[in-house]
Amino acid sequence: MYGGMWGAAVLAMVGIYFAQEHSNEVSPSRAPEGPLFTMENAPANVPAVEPTAAQRPEDEGVSFQARGNRRHTGRTSRRGGATATRAWALSTGANVVGQAVEGPTGTLYLGSRDHQLYALNPDGTVLWQVDLGDDIYSTAAVFGDAIYAGSDSNFFFILDAATGAVRSHLRTEGDVDTGIAVSDEGIAYFGAGRDLWSVTPQGTIAWRFRSGDKIFSSPAIADDGTIYFGAQDDYLYAVQPSGELRWRFRAAGDVDSGPVIGDDGTIYFGSDDRRVYALDRNGTERFHVDVGGYVRTPVALGRDGNILVPVFGPHPRIASLDAATGAEQWSFAVGDTDANELGVGSSPLVDADGNIYFGADDDYVYSIDRAGQMRWIYQTGNNVDSDPILTQSGLLVIGSDDHFIHAIR
């Protein structure tokens, strides 16, 4: 009874926030502040850096943020199961497209298009849920005892991880649709509208950088603090920790695929021009490869010096490319489609043994081995565009358009 009363109180509090904020054109306490940087006010001379430089080893244990860590490698030190059975499934009110993140005690945080941000116990029971005012496409992040989250309500929230109480909120100038990347200092980076936002742990805006079009690409952070992200103006951007543009690289199509930073500092990303690109830290192209379909979600770094590319139709698949040359090593096909907008929209997860896990728009979750051979398949009730994670309790957790959060044992 008390749990239900507390949940109702949290929902009511968030409702009051929205009633107050939307009654004014701009929130009096949370209007955008901080400097706004653009392509036009970039420094005249940005010093060059080493084309490649070894990155420090990433924490591949608990998945506190999108793609497991701030470089978005998609790797975990955990091991997944050799077979798949349902451990539990939680029904939400709409499609679940974001990735779950996990707190240090095993609590899972995941949003749904039913407007709810869910905090789940490891057994799938609801600890709390909070209405964030509109559809949630983005992936939240855990920093200390706080949760960073956003929604299509044009708000970014900092919530208490234990209770869901809203500690801080600010109005953005567009939907918060991307994953939230977090620096060691707790600075949150995310895309909303055309802007990359930099927000402190206290909920104040450090700066914004304005691109030429909508940002759907989740930012990644390199060891030197450079933030990389793509936009629908066809550019991949490299922005300095202070907010100024370092460089930009033009592809031949939208860059919705979040960049991934390799162990040697190479940046990998995909585009609607059906190519995968590899750039050095100064933005110089090392190679590009045409994979025959849109690449709209991040690649993953395999255990064999390869990159794993999720490819859309008409021949959707996971393609394994040599990270040094781009040469295709193998591919694993899912069901063919006549639609270029369907295929593999779920970024692969790579476990400690090199096994690979991902979802597809044929309603299935797949596990294949490091050579691209089938291990198991698990059916959901609709497309699977969510990215999977492996939890402390040994479950593979992933969302689906069937409105469920699935936990696979």
Strands 205-210 and 36-37: parallel
- Report the pLDDT value the prediction gives residue 34, as an integer from 0 to 100: 81
Mean pLDDT, range 62-77, rounded to an integer: 96
Tell me if 109 sits within 8 A of 164, measured CB to CB. Answer: no
Mean pLDDT, range 233-258, rounded to an integer: 97
DSSP reduced 3-state for 229:
strand
Instruction: Identify the structural domains of the chain with CATH numbers, from first to last.
Output: 2-38+59-408 (2.130.10.10)
- Whole-angstrom CA distances from 33 to 219, 239, 252 are 21, 19, 33
Tell which wins on pLDDT, 128 or 48: 128
The pLDDT-based confidence of 22 (bands split at 50, 70, 90) is very low
The pLDDT-based confidence of 29 (bands split at 50, 70, 90) is very low
Tell which wins on pLDDT, 116 or 29: 116
- Whole-angstrom CA distances from 377 to 80, 87, 262, 392 are 13, 15, 29, 22
Lowest-pLDDT choice from 2-16, 65-79, 370-384: 2-16
Which residue, among 174, 173, 178, 142, has the nearest Cα to 158 in the 3D structure?
A: 142
Strands 195-199 and 306-311: unpaired
Residue 21, pLDDT above cutoff 60: no
Q: Which amino acid is at 39?
A: M
Q: What is the C-alpha separation between 270 and 255, in angstroms, rounded? A: 7
Mean pLDDT, range 127-133, rounded to an integer: 98
The two tokens of residue 247 are 């460089």
pLDDT tens for each residue of 173-211: 899 999 999 999 999 999 999 999 999 999 999 999 999
- Report the pLDDT value the prediction gives residue 26, as an integer from 0 to 100: 29
Residue 388, pLDDT above cutoff 60: yes
Q: What is the C-alpha separation between 306 and 372, in angstroms, rounded? A: 12
- Report the pLDDT value the prediction gives residue 61, as an integer from 0 to 100: 85
The two tokens of residue 201 are 């742990």
Lowest-pLDDT choice from 3-12, 87-96, 157-166, 288-297: 3-12
Taking CB atoms within 8 Å and a gap of at least 24, the contacts of 79-82 are 79/351, 79/352, 79/353, 79/355, 79/390, 80/351, 80/355, 80/357, 80/367, 80/390, 80/396, 81/394, 81/396, 81/408, 81/409, 82/375, 82/376
Residue indicated by tokens 């949003």: 111
Residue 107, pLDDT above cutoff 60: yes
Mean pLDDT, range 310-318, rounded to an integer: 96
- Report the pLDDT value the prediction gives residue 100, as an integer from 0 to 100: 98
* DSSP E strand stretches across 193-261: 195-199, 205-210, 220-221, 227-230, 235-239, 245-250, 260-261
The pLDDT > 70 percentage for the chain reads 92
- Report the pLDDT value the prediction gives residue 58, as an integer from 0 to 100: 83
